[in-house]
Amino acid sequence: MNVEVKKKEALLTGISARLVADGVISTEQAQTAIRESSKKKTPLINYLSQTLDIDSYELAELAAAEFGVPLVDLSAVDRNMFPDKLVSPALMTKHQTIPIFRRGNRLFIALADPTNIAALDEIKFATGISTEAVVVDQRALSKLLTEILDQQDSLSSEMDQLGESSEFDLDIIDENSSETEDVDTSAVDDTPIVRFVNKVLLDAIKQGASDIHFEPYEQNYRVRFRTDGILREIVKPPKTLAPRLAARIKVMSQMDISERRIPQDGRIQMKLSKNRSIDFRVNTLPTMFGEKIVMRILDPTSAQMGIDALGYDDDQKQLYTGLSILNTDERNISTAEDPVEINMEGVNQVLVNNKVGLDFAEALRSFLRQDPDIIMVGEIRDIETAEIAIKAAQTGHLVLSTLHTNSAAETITRMMNMGVPAYNIASSVSLIIAQRLARRLCKQCSIPETEVPHDALMELGFNDEMLENATIKRAVGCEACKDGYRGRVGIYEVVKITKTLANLIMGGDNSIDLDKQARREGFADLRLSALRKAAQGLISLEEVNRVTTD
């Protein structure tokens, strides 16, 4: 037995001895673990994590201290920094490792077992780059490795097997076939590209993505999904396929495939089954190295969500309303949208088209001659639209609209800056809702947050009453989620324009004064609403800071 093997065995025994001393495992369990891991040629740390109820992060801390190797939290590492295609999937799988960073001629390898010298040597031989180990949580490593390999299997394999003849069972519905000229698709309607694009769309739907980005660069091409508000790279097709991918998507979206100099907008409806279809709003943008394409995924079923699913607090629900709730047989509802994102049965939806003179203002004028009960304007962008919306509200109609602002109070000052008189705002605006979306903690793996002291929580904005029955949790990560998060929840500031607030608006007070008065009247701002969600264990403290720190 050589010196290196003896040293390794001594260190392994040292780890198990410390676990025994700490009361984590018994002496018998330690002896069995050493014996069985040696027999099965499985690293002791992996064996302990997989067969015994031991916290894998605790094992990682122990291994890092025992071997003098840096400990890295994988959840804090930016996956975009991972060296692309430097180490083969076969090598990563064989040794349960991931290359996470390259600095010059040094490649840092994440592994759970720092004694796995064979992995470092084999990767060094395959890449020609010096390797250094960093210790990571074994379960987090396994989860991340599975995600990386699954992504490569699901999409990259499509590029390797483009010659196969099988098709996906999807129907792309052309909504404008009767109004569009025939397009020569022979240059782009080849099965490999069709299959790959369909695969990307399907994977995006399955993963719950809200947007898909197709991005050409000078040296490469990448596809990213936005899931729970965060963009993640999914696959890197060959750069040479960029024009064909763009052309295929433009054909599906009924765009002009010969026009590459200006942005274009289009729409795709994908029929998944007899009773379900998904809409994609598509936009192209000419960049230095080709056309970037972004698809917004629109699921019509999301428009039917109940109020409880949206994340409003109990006091905010009393002030909340929406088109899906107001949409009854007794009401005439008209909307002006740019674009119409989700079709709603029973609502008269108008697509704004500035090219023919049908802008928001013109649509609003027409609505007033259509015996409306409720009017929804997609966005108030100018003084003309604002004035007509105010006039409609003053004549007894319920008007709903949106503006891009940071808070409820700034909505008022934004309208003033547009040129709307303060007295018109004070007499017409009755309710303002500001919203942001936060990533929801995974119900399966989130755990109580125990490391943040009481004083630090108070500094974040909590008070003793909120903390009395709080269940603050943090993200962990498991097979059912993405980095400890799954889905999103709304963070809302709901402000009713009271008589006092109306008087301040009439007096021309700024957004700071309006905001202070709203707080005095008990309306929670976005920060407080986010803290309430954290106290309920719905979002993490990190998410509170991410979505409410301007």
500 φ, ψ to 5°?
-65, -45
Rounded to an integer, what distance in angstroms lies between the CA atom of residue 484 and that of residue 360?
Answer: 42
Which residues sit opposite 158 in a β-bridge?
none
CATH of the domain at 232: 3.30.450.90
Structure tokens at 339: 């674009």
Q: Where is the domain boundary, 298, 318, 336?
A: 298
Q: Does residue 202 share a domain with residue 107?
A: no
Q: Domain for residue 403, yes or no?
A: yes
Q: Does residue 28 share a domain with residue 125?
A: yes
Rounded to an integer, what distance in angstroms lies between the CA atom of residue 319 and that of residue 317?
Answer: 5
Q: Does residue 375 share a domain with residue 274?
A: no
Torsion of CA 266, 270, 275, 276, to 10 degrees: -80
Q: Within its chain, how far is the Cα of 148 from the centroid?
A: 17
Q: Where is the domain boundary, 270, 298, 326?
A: 298
Rounded to an integer, what distance in angstroms lies between the CA atom of residue 399 and that of residue 387?
Answer: 12
CATH of the domain at 311: 3.40.50.300
Q: Does residue 510 share a domain with residue 428?
A: yes
Q: Domain for residue 284, yes or no?
A: yes
Structure tokens at 32: 């069995």
Q: Does residue 357 share a domain with residue 284?
A: no
**How confident is the model at residue 535, as a pLDDT?**
94
Rounded to an integer, what distance in angstroms lies between the CA atom of residue 363 and that of residue 392?
Answer: 12
Phi/psi class of residue 228: alpha, beta or left (left: φ > 0; alpha: ψ in -120 to 50)? left
CATH of the domain at 29: 3.30.300.160
20 φ, ψ to 5°?
-65, -45
Q: Which residues of 329-353 are buried (b: 16+ CB within 10 A; e: fewer)?
A: eeeebbbbbbbbbbebeebebbebe
Which residue in this structure is represented by tokens 């290359």? 99
Q: Domain for residue 451, yes or no?
A: yes
Structure tokens at 414: 């934004």
Structure tokens at 346: 């029973």
Q: Domain for residue 150, yes or no?
A: no
**How confident is the model at residue 27, as a pLDDT?**
79
Q: Does residue 315 share a domain with residue 273?
A: no
User: Cβ of 226: how many Cβ atoms within 10 Å?
Assistant: 17
Amino acid at 202: L
Q: Does residue 258 share a domain with residue 344?
A: no
Contact 447, 471 (CB under 8 A): no
Half-sphere exposure of 384 (CA within 13 A, CB side): 7
Q: Where is the domain boundary, 252, 268, 298?
A: 298
User: Cβ of 391: how many Cβ atoms within 10 Å?
Assistant: 16
Contact 444, 480 (CB under 8 A): yes
Q: What is the largest CA-CA distance in the chain?
A: 94
Contact 242, 221 (CB under 8 A): yes
Q: Does residue 382 share a domain with residue 239?
A: no
Q: Does residue 276 share a domain with residue 375?
A: no
Q: Domain for residue 149, yes or no?
A: no
Contact 379, 402 (CB under 8 A): yes
At residue 475, the 3 state secondary structure works out as coil
276 burial class (0-12, 13-18, 19+ CB within 10 angstroms)? Answer: exposed
Distances in whole angstroms, Cα of residue 269 to Cα of each of 250, 342, 347, 352: 13, 11, 19, 19
Distances in whole angstroms, Cα of residue 430 to Cα of each of 216, 335, 425: 46, 19, 9
Q: Within its chain, how far is the Cα of 358 from the centroid?
A: 34
Q: Does residue 439 share a domain with residue 331?
A: yes
At residue 59, the 3 state secondary structure works out as helix
Rounded to an integer, what distance in angstroms lies between the CA atom of residue 410 and that of residue 505?
Answer: 11
Q: Tally the domains of the chain.
A: 3
User: Cβ of 268: how many Cβ atoms within 10 Å?
Assistant: 20
Q: Domain for residue 144, yes or no?
A: no
Q: Domain for residue 154, yes or no?
A: no
**How confident is the model at residue 159, as a pLDDT?**
52
Packing angle, helices 526-535 and 541-548, rounded to 10? 170
Question: What are the mean pLDDT values of the chain's consecutive 10-residue runs (550 residues total)?
Answer: 47 66 75 77 72 76 82 82 78 87 86 84 86 88 80 55 41 43 44 85 88 92 90 88 91 89 87 77 92 88 56 58 74 86 82 85 89 90 90 90 91 93 94 92 91 90 90 88 87 94 94 95 94 94 88
Q: Does residue 310 share a domain with residue 245?
A: no
Structure tokens at 338: 């740019």
Contact 59, 126 (CB under 8 A): no
Rounded to an integer, what distance in angstroms lies between the CA atom of residue 493 and that of residue 484?
Answer: 26
Q: Does residue 271 share a domain with residue 315?
A: no
**How confident is the model at residue 301, as a pLDDT?**
60
Structure tokens at 238: 């060959």
Amino acid at 436: R
Q: Domain for residue 196, yes or no?
A: yes
Beta strands in 112-155 (DSSP E): 130-135
Contact 486, 543 (CB under 8 A): no
The residue segments making up the domain with residue 103 are: 3-139
